[in-house]
Amino acid sequence: MKKHFLIPAKTGLSIEVKKGSIIKIIDVEGQQVADFTAYHAEDYHEKLDLRVTIDALNTVYFKLNDALYSNMYRPMFTILKDTVGKHGVLLPACRAEMYEWLYNKNGHRNCYDNLNESLSKFNIPKSDHHYPFNIFMNTVLHQNGTLQVEKPLSTAGDFLKLKVEMDVIIAISACPVEESPCNGYFPSTIELEVEC
């Protein structure tokens, strides 16, 4: 059975997903980042941790059949299919303070609030910060160590498909950044497909 969820631009969604399910995160219009995080459904202290994943895989470039690990070094997801092959793993979720600092904008929608607000229905405590899997984000790491966010390589219909390795609560934010190339200067919709 498949369920489909649309996540409009600049908003978030959170749902519970059972072990063995297949989830597919789809860039509906192209060049849209999806900030993705997850918590163990029965123990909120265990959550998706990209720093642990980088440590376990010894790379910042994830590929097919790689696991995404929790902070307890346990696989939470396995990459089954990836039509883009380039995602962001180094930067935190955007937050209101970032927009104030970088763009002199107050009260801007942001992934930090989208994730916290969507997770609140599960009574997951508000995180001090989210370091999500920035699906479709094109973060370029230069040889001199500098980072640059460029337009995503994803086009309409591109997707990332993951196998769920434990009962989880996932949260996704359709990133609101419109001031930089992060979302091609035009935030749009993300679709989530869940196959049980």
Report the pLDDT value the prediction gives residue 128, as an integer from 0 to 100.
Answer: 86
pLDDT higher than 90, residue 129: no
Q: Which residue matches tokens 């309409």?
A: 156
Residue 126 CB coordination number (10 Å): 11
Q: Which residues neighbour 188 within 8 Å (Cβ) at sequence distance 6 or greater?
A: 9, 28, 29, 30, 31, 32, 174
**Which pLDDT band, with edges at 50, 70 and 90, does 153 fall under?**
very high
Cα dist from 157 to 72, 91, 186, whole Å = 33, 24, 16
Q: Is the pTM of this model over 0.85?
A: yes
**Which pLDDT band, with edges at 50, 70 and 90, does 108 fall under?**
very high
Q: What is the mean pLDDT of the chain?
A: 96
Q: Which residues neighbour 97 within 8 Å (Cβ) at sequence distance 6 or greater?
A: none
